[in-house]
Structure 1
C-alpha cells in the first residue's frame, strides 16, 4: 500500500443550456493512496464553515466520489453508462444519476490527472453537464 502527501487542484466546469459555463477551482492538501491496484485521492475542504471529507476512487473507465461531513454524497461513474447515487441535504436524501460521457485517469511517478465529464440528474431533473478535473502533485505546500 502506497500513501503519499499531495497537492490537489480541482477544476469544476458546469454547463447549462444557453448559459455561460461556470468554472470553480479548489486547492487542497490531500493524500494519494494506492491499494490493491486501485488509486484513491483523499482531501478535506471547508464550505460555509462545514468540513467536508472527500474520497475520489479513480480508474480508467470508472470512478466514485464520496463526500461526508458538511455534505454527504455518493457519485458513481462508469463510462457510457448511467449510474445512481445520492445527495443528502437538509431536505432529505435526493437520488441523483450520472451519465458519464468521458472518463480518463493518467498517473505518473509524482503526479496524476483524473477527468470525468458527465450529465447530472437530480430527482429526475437534468441540472447540467459537469466536467471535474482533478490534478495532484506530490509534495506539500
Structure 2
C-alpha cells in the first residue's frame, strides 16, 4: 500500500450557470487489486462530509466512488451512460442518477489523474453539471505501509 496525497477539485454548475468550486487535499492510500486501482482518503469539513471515508475504484473505462460513514453511497461513472444509485443520509435516502459526459483516466502504479464531467439528478430532477478532477501523487514524506485489505 502506498501513502499518497489526494487533491480533489469539484466544480458544480447550477442551472443559472453559476459555479461553486470546492478544493481539498487529503492524505490517503493507494494500491492495486485485480484489474483496478484503489485510492482511499477521508473527507473534511470543506466538503461538508467530515468523517466520511471515500474510496475511488479506478478502471481504464470507469470509476466507482464509494462513501461510508455519516453518508453511504456508491456511484459508478461510465462515459456515455446514465447510472442510478441511492445516497443514504441520516435524514433519509435520496435516489440519484449520474449521466457521465467526460471521463479521462491517466493512472499508473497508484498515482495519476482522473477527470470526470457529469450531470446529476436527485429524485428524478436534473440539478447540476459537475466536473471532478482528482490528482493522486505519492506522499514521499510518509512512504509505504503494510498490506492492503480492501473491498468494493
Contact 1:60–1:103 (8 Å) recurs in 2: no
Structure 1 vs Structure 2 CA RMSD:
1.8
The one-character-per-residue Cα deviations of 1:51-81 (angstroms, maximum 9, x if unpaired) are: 1100011123211111011221221111101
Bigger mean CA offset, 23-32 vs 58-67: 58-67
Residue number in structure 2 paired with 1:114? 114
The residue that corresponds to 1:85 in the other structure is: 85
Going from structure 1 to structure 2, the CA distance change for 1:108 and 1:60 (only over 3 Å counts) comes to closer
Aligned residue in 2 for 1:21: 19
| Runs of 5+ unmatched residues, structure 1 | none
Q: How does 1:56-95 map to 2 (within 5 A)?
A: 56-95=56-95
Task: State the 1:111 CA deviation.
Answer: 3.0
Q: Where is the strand percentage greater, Structure 1 or Structure 2?
A: 1
TM-score (norm 2): 0.84
Output one character per residue of 1:109-128: Cα deviation in whole Å (capped at 9) or x when no partner. 57300111110001101110
Which structure 2 residue ranges, 5 or more long, are not aligned? 142-152
* Corresponding pairs, count: 139
